[in-house]
Amino acid sequence: MAVKDIMDALRKEHVDNTPLSELVKDIKLVGSTLEIVFRLPQKHLEEEIRRKTVQALESVPDVEKVNVRFVEGPPAQFLQAPVFQRRKVQGVKHLIAVGSGKGGVGKSTVAVNLALALSRLGARTGLLDADIYGPSVPTMLGLKGQRVYVNDQNKIIPLEKFGLKTLSIGFLLPSEDTPVIWRGPMLMKALTQFLFDVEWGELDVLVLDLPPGTGDVQLTLAQNVDMSGAIIVTTPQDVALADVRKATSMFKEVGIPVLGVIENMAYFVCPESGKKYYIFGKGKVLEFAQAYGLKILGSIPIDPQVAEGSDLGLPIVEAYPHSEVAQAFLGIARLVLEELNRR
């Protein structure tokens, strides 16, 4: 795979003790011409980066010409900490964001089942549905139509289901079909209230289901909230992987560690023959993850029971804890806890 070869080659060259691969903002191979954009930490490094890039890529097959461009701005490791005034959510030990570069890859399904798996492993867990454009947690947890209340201290009391504390913007809307039309500052105010004015009690992990993509909402949250890390959900489709790259860069740029990638809809097991079919392609996520130095936390197959469970308000980890999918989520949850305990 050309991108992997390119990133491997760039990883070997350094400027100011930083591998060139860490400075890459965007990379595109058009025919045999590589368009590569670097974040320029310091102006005087421009020539050195250009020279070392051409040198590093000389032996990479498929690349005949290299066009190097720069954008201003240092990558995360060049920034002085603390960069942003990040607020901690009271009572929450670890906040982890579940994001995706693209909509419809199963981010909310993963967030819900991961939260349930964490809870099954004994972690006191909460789930916050910040997907303001399409809150699906109320349906997935069978809490559609429920409302939340505010206590004497003006704090929102989350709902509880399957041992999880949970809050969704869906619980605050007058009806399920009310579109959220908040924009800009009003939206951010609502989201901030959503995070900080909630009586979560004591939690080991709060899973934050982000809206899909890498827009202002995701960036503002990433800049203002103290997070232990982010998890990115993708399918093996090329288009989804291209967007993962953007999501990864966004978290890296604001200094939030990416704990790993979860590959959803990785394959389908034929119930008759037991044969595995890699509908969206095999091994692509692994190659991608290796190229970007990311860990794969696990792979979830396509299973009609997953979709069914979500629609019925009985997620698969709760409904069929011994199924292959539920076991995969438990495996991911174990890795996530290990990763968090190391921090």
Ligand X SMILES: Nc1ncnc2c1ncn2[C@@H]1O[C@H](COP(=O)(O)OP(=O)(O)OP(=O)(O)O)[C@@H](O)[C@H]1O
**CB of residue 136 vs ligand X: minimum separation in angstroms?**
5
Consult the annotation and say whether 102 binds a ligand: yes
**Block residue for tokens 């990558």:** 75
Consult the annotation and say whether 163 binds a ligand: no
Q: Which is nearer to ligand X, 36 or 110 (CB)?
A: 110
**CB of residue 111 vs ligand X: minimum separation in angstroms?**
7
Consult the annotation and say whether 119 binds a ligand: no
Q: Contact positions toward ligand X, by CB under 6 A? A: 100, 103-109, 131, 134, 136, 212, 264-265, 300, 302-303, 306-307, 310
Mutual angle of helices 107-120 and 324-342, in 10-degree steps: 70
Cα gap 212→218, rounded to integer Å: 8
Q: Which is nearer to ligand X, 36 or 230 (CB)?
A: 230
**CB of residue 144 vs ligand X: minimum separation in angstroms?**
14
Q: Which is nearer to ligand X, 158 or 301 (CB)?
A: 301
One-letter amino acid identity for 340?
L
- Bridge-partner residues for 234, per DSSP? 263
**CB of residue 302 vs ligand X: minimum separation in angstroms?**
4
List the structure tokens of 32. Answer: 């045999």
Consult the annotation and say whether 165 binds a ligand: no
Q: Which is nearer to ligand X, 125 or 168 (CB)?
A: 168
Consult the annotation and say whether 274 binds a ligand: no
**CB of residue 80 vs ligand X: minimum separation in angstroms?**
35
Q: Could you give the 3-state DSSP secondary structure of residue 298?
A: strand
Helices (H) and strands (E) in the chain, counts: 11, 16
Consult the annotation and say whether 122 binds a ligand: no
Q: Which is nearer to ligand X, 56 or 262 (CB)?
A: 262
Alpha helix stretches (DSSP H) within the chain: 2-12, 46-57, 107-120, 137-140, 184-196, 216-224, 238-253, 284-291, 304-312, 316-319, 324-342
What angle is formed at CA 220 by the lines to CA 216 and CA 223, rounded to 5 degrees?
140
Q: Which residues are annotated as a binding site for ATP?
A: 101-108
Residue numbers belonging to the annotated binding site: 101-108
